[in-house]
Amino acid sequence: MEEILQIANLRTYFFRRFKPTIKAVDGVSYKVKKGETIALVGESGCGKTISALSILRLNPPTSTIVEGQVKWLGHDILKVPDEEICRIRGKDIAMIFQNPLSSLNPLMTIGRQISETFQTHHCLCGKDSWNEAKRMLNLVAVPDVESKMTAYPFQLSGGMRQRVMVAMALSCDPKLMIADEPTTALDVTTQAQILSLICTANREAGRATILVTHDLGIVARYADTVNIMYAGHIVESAGCMDIYHTPLHPYTEALLKSVPRIDKIGGNELIPIPGYPPLLDRLGPGCPFEARCTRRTTKCLKEMPPIEEVSENHYAACWHI
């Protein structure tokens, strides 16, 4: 299948005065094919958000993309002029953020905010864009659409706001949607509904999705490919089934043991990963997982293992596979 996005050796650092540099994203590479759902999974603070934001050059102003390529349909997003990146944002690649309240305009009604995307990206007039906005809210199963159109974000529940964000992202009709922990702040039933909404709508439209999450449990149903991220690096990448059935990296193994599995008869004992993720401004030259790893040797302390193809389309970065 055709590759639409190619990320190569992306590095985004926070340089600080008199303090060590935080290497939030440190050499991330992956590809997204047309219509494919990729999950980016890892513990909090491992660089998922910063790497996702860097794709659209939306990384915080205090950080710098120091190296890498983000090729969108053959053009390097990191090099295109500002007008071009503004066109790509929303129209080609849309993003759903973790906290909908901070992404929605508090002073504009829901109806106006969604209508605006239709006016900007599809050049529709006021009345047509209003009707399209209503259609989108119906599509994301918002009840009582008429009254929601004239409501302000603070008047909606968390789940409703996230549905509005999904409606806005869908209304751009992008080729790729990046959803950064879109359901983390929601209760479990709403989580499942919204994830299924995003993934089903995208699959039906043949749209690619990058689903960013800290929860390996929720990606099984939706992802084609899973990228496991740890301390700014992708440490394992494979098809969803391979990740669940034959994990190669000790971190992936440990993650799988720490999530409940309903496919294991009698349930499985949950084993938490010992220790804490490393601080990203204090990484040594070796493997960042070394301190928590059961396979650790002196080589792991000294040298970072490169990510290599271990079996067909199954990549891992570990000296002991």
Ligand X SMILES: Nc1ncnc2c1ncn2[C@@H]1O[C@H](COP(=O)(O)OP(=O)(O)O)[C@@H](O)[C@H]1O
Q: Which does 222 bind (CB under 5 to 8 A by kind): Mg ion, ligand X, none?
A: none
Contact stretch for ligand X (CB under 6 A) within 3-11, 37-45, 67-75, 220-228: 37-45
Contact stretch for ligand X (CB under 6 A) within 45-53, 86-94, 155-163, 194-202: 45-53
Q: Which does 189 bind (CB under 5 to 8 A by kind): ligand X, Mg ion, none?
A: none
CA distance 110 to 101: 12
Instruction: In angstroms, give the least distance from the CB of 321 to ligand X.
Output: 24
Q: Which is nearer to Mg ion, 48 or 148 (CB)?
A: 48
Q: Which does 159 bind (CB under 5 to 8 A by kind): Mg ion, ligand X, none?
A: none
Q: Which is nearer to Mg ion, 49 or 225 (CB)?
A: 49
Restricting to residues 245-284, name those near ligand X by CB under 6 A. Answer: 280
Q: Does 297 bind ligand X (CB under 6 A)?
A: no
- Residues near 67 by Cβ (< 8 Å), separated by ≥ 6? 9, 10, 11
Instruction: In angstroms, give the least distance from the CB of 214 to ligand X.
Output: 7
Question: CA of 310: how far to CAs of 238, 249, 306, in Å?
Answer: 10, 11, 11
- Interior angle at CA 167, CA 163 and CA 173, nearest 5: 150
The alpha carbon of residue 61 and the mean position of all alpha carbons in its chain are separated, in whole angstroms, by 20
Contact stretch for ligand X (CB under 6 A) within 46-54, 72-80, 297-305, 308-316: 46-54
Q: Does 50 bind ligand X (CB under 6 A)?
A: yes
What is the CB neighbour count within 10 angstroms for residue 80? Answer: 16
Restricting to residues 30-59, name those near Mg ion by CB under 5 A. Answer: 49
Give the residue, chosen from 5, 11, 38, 47, that forms a contact with ligand X under the rule CB under 6 A. 47
CA distance 273 to 154: 38
Q: Does 118 bind ligand X (CB under 6 A)?
A: no
Q: Does 48 bind ligand X (CB under 6 A)?
A: yes
Instruction: In angstroms, give the least distance from the CB of 233 to ligand X.
Output: 12
Q: Does 183 bind Mg ion (CB under 5 A)?
A: no
Q: Which does 46 bind (CB under 5 to 8 A by kind): ligand X, Mg ion, none?
A: ligand X
Q: Which is nearer to ligand X, 14 or 251 (CB)?
A: 14
Per the structure block, which two tokens stand in for 191?
């989580």
Q: Does 49 bind ligand X (CB under 6 A)?
A: yes
CA distance 162 to 196: 13
Instruction: In angstroms, give the least distance from the CB of 296 to ligand X.
Output: 22
Q: Which does 113 bind (CB under 5 to 8 A by kind): ligand X, Mg ion, none?
A: none
Q: Does 22 bind ligand X (CB under 6 A)?
A: yes
HEC string of 60-75 equals CCCEEEEEEEEEECCE
Number of residues binding to ligand X, judged by CB under 6 A? 14
CB 233 within 8 A of CB 25: no
Q: Which is nearer to ligand X, 60 or 275 (CB)?
A: 60
CA distance 30 to 178: 14
Q: Does 177 bind ligand X (CB under 6 A)?
A: no
Q: Which stretches of the chain bind Mg ion, using CB under 5 A?
A: 49
Q: Which stretches of the chain bind ligand X, using CB under 6 A?
A: 14, 22, 24, 42, 44-50, 60, 62, 280
